[in-house]
Amino acid sequence: MRIGFDARFISWKGVGTYSRNLLKQFSQVPDLEVVCFYNDDTKERLPAGENFTMVRLNEEVFSSRNLNKIGAAVNKAGCTLFHTPYVVAPNNLDCPLLVTAHDIIPLLFPKSIPSFRKRRAYRSLLADAIQKADHIITVSTVSQSYLLAHFNLPLGKVSVILDGVGHEFGPRSESEIASVLAKYKLGQPNILWLGEFVAHKNVSALVSAYAALSTKIRSHYKLVLAGEKSGDWQEVKKEAAHRGVGGLMVIPGFIADPDLPALYSSADLFVYPSLYEGFGLPPLEAMACGTPVVCSNSSSLPEVIGDGGLLVAPRSAAISAAITEVLTNDNLKQRLRRRGRERAALFSWDTAVAKTLDLYRELAQ
């Protein structure tokens, strides 16, 4: 098989993690040729593989005007199947099209894409990709149900292939933890959140929950909000100042991928109050590192977290009560550490890749 893969998204959050893990394993599949379509921003992050052919494609992602050019490039490369890990579908393909639609969050929470122009482009590209796709992958049964209902699709057109947890995620040594904490000027003990500062991540509810903790707990545990300083992060800072906990909160900014396992391992508790997730990798990664997790009980998160974390309503009072319960109950904390690692071990990129390759063979035939 000669598979075309749109690798222009490998630097993105979520979609990038998905793309990089698939491509890493594709490089080890002997009967697979992979044509990687990249741009100048992503070339350095492409995994190496003797079975990879690289094709430069610098067309803007959020532009429907470039879909003809992308289609022509795919056809010229002689692909027997083209897989896009995001909802950008080329025009006039000579081969079957496989689209991974992780979620429809920008439709449910439009401000998750800050630019109005990009929001409008996303809606158009999503509808176009769903219509063109010969088949669709999504990453949870919740995402599948939203796609089926919103676009009135037959069940057989959308397959669920769960994301995995990378082998690099596991408990880290004290020395590695100390090195990462020093790098980002963080301390211990701490309560950790990691993600994007956008509305559906519900970070302000976490700040409110933290403010409602007892003075004894707040004086002992700092709140670390890790992620690129963009989106609503200034509003979150204002919320913390309004609640009187600005001095107890740390926002270190972007965390490099190699540092994530040690960051998760450093935390006494990982809290993820999101209102909606197509899958939800951060709490699963934290669980794999042996960190207790408090997570909202919304959308796909119960499906992913199972009994590996403490599931609560995504409201500040419920979050605050759950944080208190975990941090004051050593037996519960140890039980969550054990269950979390057991649960995370069920999610493997090996399995996700094997199922994806089976789908490739089916579509290519």
Q: How confident is the model at residue 237, as a pLDDT? A: 93
**Measured CA angle at 315 (ends 312, 320), to 5 deg:** 75
Q: How confident is the model at residue 253, as a pLDDT? A: 96
Q: Note whether 2-164+348-364 and 174-344 share their fold.
A: yes
**Which residues of the chain are modeled with pLDDT < 70?**
none
Q: How confident is the model at residue 47, as a pLDDT? A: 86
Q: In CATH, what number does 2-164+348-364 get?
A: 3.40.50.2000
User: Which tokens belong to 321?
Assistant: 């009560």
Topology (CATH) of 174-344: Rossmann fold (3.40.50)
d(CA 178, CA 186): 9
Instruction: Decide the pairing of beta strands 269-272 and 158-160.
Output: unpaired
**Which residues fall within 8 angstroms of residue 156, CB to CB, at 6 or more apart?**
none
What are the sequence ranges of the domains in the chain?
2-164+348-364, 174-344
User: Which tokens belong to 359?
Assistant: 């789908």
Q: How confident is the model at residue 274, as a pLDDT? A: 97
Among 285, 265, 274, CA closest to 186:
265
d(CA 220, CA 222): 7
Q: How confident is the model at residue 242, as a pLDDT? A: 94
Q: How confident is the model at residue 304, as a pLDDT? A: 96
d(CA 312, CA 320): 10
Whether the CB-CB separation of 279 and 304 falls below 8 Å is answered with yes
Peptide bond preceding 252: is omega within 30 degrees of 0, i.e. cis? no
Q: How confident is the model at residue 130, as a pLDDT? A: 96
pLDDT tens digits, one per residue of 45-66: 888 889 999 999 988 888 888 8
Q: Which helix (H) or strand (E) holds 355?
A: helix 349-364
* Cβ atoms within 10 Å, residue 187: 11
Q: What stretches of 147-206 adopt beta strand conformation (E)?
A: 158-160, 190-194
**Which residues fall within 8 angstroms of residue 346, CB to CB, at 6 or more apart?**
none
Q: Which helix (H) or strand (E) holds 56?
A: strand 52-56
* Cβ atoms within 10 Å, residue 191: 27
Phi, psi of 225 (to 5 degrees): -110, 105
CA-based end-to-end distance of the chain: 10
Whether the CB-CB separation of 240 and 224 falls below 8 Å is answered with no
The pTM for the full model equals 0.94
Q: How confident is the model at residue 176, as a pLDDT? A: 98
Q: Which helix (H) or strand (E) holds 122?
A: helix 116-132
Whether the CB-CB separation of 283 and 272 falls below 8 Å is answered with yes
